[in-house]
Amino acid sequence: MSRIADTDIVSADTEAFLAAVSITEQARTLVWHEAQSTAFQIRTLADAMCDPEDAEELYGALASLWLELRLQWQRHNDVANYDLMRHGEAKPIDLVRGSVSSYYFERIESLLQPDQIMCLNQKALALIDSLRQDVASAAEKA
């Protein structure tokens, strides 16, 4: 599992994302630190659950981490889509942050079987839709 957060690979790939867009140095630093922080969290998880008997807990932890990254991607994607609708273009920082989130959850998916990935996607979409409906209903009642 720690290979999906290999420092050299992640650093090179993050640099490639950053090179593809024109963003401020401050935004570049923010994205860089977010990517490195995520890699560190994955490595910490991998180090903590490295024994074969940890397999069941590891899958639960992978699912949680995948969902966290999937929800981050969803947030960045929503912001980019609304900017595109309102202003005719999305901010590069939102696109690159979404790309980094997607990059990590796709790396986690490389450890899973297709049916596990499909299950995660279905559950994530159902959760997001359910939460949106619940929040909208609560807002209408207020």
pTM reported for the whole predicted model: 0.81
pLDDT band at 46 (very low <50, low <70, confident <90, very high): confident
Domain count, the chain: 1
Are 8 and 25 in contact by the 8 Å Cβ rule? The answer is no
**Structural contact between residues 109 and 1, judged by C-beta atoms closer than 8 angstroms:** no
For the segment 81-135, what is each residue's pLDDT rounded down to a tens digit? 999 999 999 999 999 999 999 998 898 898 888 999 999 999 999 998 999 899 9
- For residue 38, give its domain range: 2-141
* Residue 8 exposed, middle or buried by CB count within 10 Å (0-12, 13-18, 19+): exposed
